[in-house]
Structure 1
């Protein structure tokens, strides 16, 4: 071999090595995929929306005849409709290895099932198959929900996440504001201001019927008080549920819990926040019982078109505000939804699963699917895409109120997700029961406070004085001790 030929071979070898190093490990050929020996994978999702089913089938078919064909991946999609039902099937399979259903390689499940699968070492990590640059394209909060311990990787691929916003009947809000010009829309930014205006609204509506004492209306309602409790605890930098070093842990910081308890508790016992927890919140608005409520983006179609106030019927006008913060705190908004797990098999099949999922959430049909179901896309670029922009613009131009409402909500919720931090407590076994018990304990504490306020008013005390007196007694300590007792059982 001549020296010249040796140099050429050496340069070629160096080039090949550098190419192998520099090309992301997600390059299909590096995972051993070949179009001549395609890998077959199955994808189980859950949706009762026929349009969503059609869009997913369309994306899968296009993937199989284009990108999938080129890299050697064939996908079969299956719709199981109910997320709770299918999650239970996956749980049974993971625990016992036997189920009547055919469990897929890729599975849409709730986060408690994902936690079970992770603890039993049955699922692959997204961090092992996507590069840091690729992972940076995702909304961080969505990925972090799949990190179950502080030193672990992330195990859930985000797919379908809604968020919570404030739905406001702007007609009634403007009516109140005209009579109380000291308030403006900035009151929706913080919990402290929102509670203050809710109490003022109670007093104002009470004054409209001077012959009936104590019949004021609530200003605000929660569709889920647990969202407020757990999101606020994260916002105050002391999350109740935290990824620990080796296991999920429950952290009860008394000062943080008092700070989230005090303003909302005050609003409840004063009458400014509705205690009708089981009632449908849009119905409360229809009946003139509230001006606004905190609800999911998925429930936008339930926003009422008309309402009654002082025995008069009028049209509503939707206005939307971000989930509030505490003063001088960062913006954190609650999220809910399902994730996707990839069952462990071999590196080639696991790679194929994540490759397909990463492709799926970049498609226009995926953005359309999110818009149809009023959930948020998982990648930053999807929010800024021309397709998403066109969806919103067309919706805002629509004559039908419900189409306009969808555009208003999707646009506002998108900004909330991009500018703030989406958050959901880390799931663990029976975590939904823990959250429900904490919420129940808060309401029990509220009802005890209301009874005490009513007792003081009957004795002739002023409402404001009665509320302040109740706030100064031991009701917070009672609630805190009850939450501690609940936590000890989990």
Structure 2
């Protein structure tokens, strides 16, 4: 990355944030000291470096401000968002053998609505002054408001990018004359992935139909939601409390994803696509900026270890669509409790989202800090340059910030506004699309054995009927969950 260009984007992003939030001086954290120690439990889903950074921060809090204020924080990692949300639901509903509700917990807006409906989430407004709230990036803070109640405090945010094994891509691009422009739109990515499959298939002429997958997605749900938004549709309509099934738009998204997966142009296995990069199963994937630190610096090729170069590109667009990308990242909620516990929990969150702590937590892995003045400070610029001069993983994170800043200045960041039970749309999209893709892939594999061409196979897949079947299965799933929807 070129340092001069890099700092230009930092400046652009800083100006963007300046428009969103007024500059603020550090606000003093008001003491809540009590005589008896207050012990608070914090549940989260972070793993690896993110977990270590959070736990280091908690140790620091306990030894400094926590000691002064007689507050002790204990953290518990639940390993994944799904596991954390299941535990939260069980605890909030009082399921037998479930643990008591934590005092503080990581939470996405849709799950927060579910827990709030049970009367378990504290409104944070009484614990944060207007001046303190003005210090957060306004669009980040807005995600946590429901009916003028602040239920979620932003901790760190992320967006999605296209990650590439540049070593493998360059070899393919040199052989085919392609450039990065072939990865700008979903339509061109489909064509490029087909070319990659055919190119790798030709390398083993004695073994037909063994071409390799080019692209994976960490979240096919985000592919659908962002694709709808790029096409002018909010699939989750919080105003009417409906899931919007816009059939022409969904047909476009369905056909591209299902056909590419059926033909082994798109794919992946296991939990994270970065693992598929390391195994050599994929050469690219769509993932969160927060996954940058997990991108491998080497892969296992045949029986040898091969170092690879990293490349990050902006999130793909649909031709003619509005530049839109998902804004995501769980914030933290405080469980309704005594006034003393709620104030103590709020004190910790104020401290954790302070400049030094928030910058350290976010920048270890590609998250975006949530305080506006962080981006305007020299410390942030120095930290970015330090990353760019660090080890390979740190350089990867620095590149991610570069591309993320470009997206902020050129894309609309989209955060879904949920309504009651709308959180179920994500698992329903995943399960129904996975089923549809597996069925189409089995059919395509059978047709390949009959030595049909790619064009013949795609024609024979009958995507129109498969789309109708998918919509029917999605409708039934929504009905079973009691979620209202509108088909247009």
* TM norm structure 1: 0.75
Deviation at 1:357, TM superposition (A): 3.7
Are the aligned partners of 2:428 and 2:477 in contact in 1 as well (CA < 8 Å)?
yes
Match of 2:307 among 302, 305, 315: 315
Report what 2:297 is aligned to.
Answer: 305
Give the Cα separation in 2 of the matches to 1:174 and 1:338.
35
SS at match of 2:317: coil
Deviation at 1:168, TM superposition (A): 0.6
- From 71, 78, 81, give the equivalent of 2:77: 81
Q: Tell me how far 1:135 sits from its aligned partner.
A: 5.0
The corresponding residue for 1:5 is: none
Pairing 1:196-345 to 2, within 5 Å after superposition:
196-244=191-239, 248-274=241-267, 276-278=268-270, 281-307=273-299, 314-343=306-335
From the superposition, tell whether residues 424 and 466 of structure 1 become closer, same or farther in structure 2 (CA, over 3 Å). same
Q: Higher Cα Rg: structure 1 or 2?
A: 1
Instruction: Tell me by how many angstroms 1:171 deviates.
Output: 1.1
CA deviations 1:261-299 (Å, max 9, x no partner) are 12222322232112x333753343344332211233443
Structure 2 residue aligned with 1:464: 455
The answer to whether 1:449 aligns with 2:440 is yes
Give, in whole Å, the separation in 1 of the partners of 2:95 and 2:208: 64
Trace 1:48-447 onto structure 2 (pairs within 5 A).
49-59=51-61, 76-82=72-78, 94-95=92-93, 106-109=104-107, 111=109, 113-126=111-124, 138-139=136-137, 142-147=140-145, 153-181=149-177, 183-244=178-239, 248-274=241-267, 276-278=268-270, 281-307=273-299, 314-343=306-335, 357-358=349-350, 360-398=352-390, 400-413=391-404, 415-417=406-408, 419-426=410-417, 434-447=425-438
Question: Relative to 1, partners in 2 of residues 1:472 and 1:407: Cα closer, same or farther, differing over 3 Å?
Answer: closer
**Does structure 1 conserve the Cα–Cα contact (< 8 Å) formed by 2:293 and 2:365?**
no
State the 1:384 CA deviation: 4.3
Could you state the TM-score of these two structures normalised by the residue count of structure 2?
0.75
Please report how far the alpha carbon of residue 104 of structure 1 lies from its aligned counterpart in structure 2 after TM superposition.
6.6
- 3-state SS of the aligned residue for 1:175? helix
Structure 2: which 5+ residue stretches go unaligned? Answer: 1-23, 482-488
1:316 Cα deviation (Å)?
A: 0.7
More relative contact order in 1 or in 2 (CA 8 Å, sep 6+)?
2
CA distance 1:380–1:411, change in 2 (3 Å): farther
How far is the alpha carbon of 1:340 from its aligned partner? 1.8
Residues 380 and 162 of structure 1: CA distance in aligned 2, closer, same or farther (over 3 Å): same
* Cα displacement (A) at 1:233: 2.7
1:364 to partner: Cα distance: 1.5
Q: Work out the CA distance in 2 between the residues paired with 1:259 and 1:154.
A: 37
Q: CA deviation at 1:411?
A: 4.1
Give the alignment's Cα RMSD to 1 decimal. Answer: 4.2
| Conserved? CA contact 1:230–1:239, under 8 Å | yes
Task: List per-residue Cα deviations over 1:351-371 (Å, max 9, x = no partner).
Answer: 886576456423212210112
Q: CA deviation at 1:307?
A: 3.4
1:197 positional shift:
0.9
Contact 2:156 2:367 in 1 (8 A): yes
* Residue aligned with 1:391, SS: helix
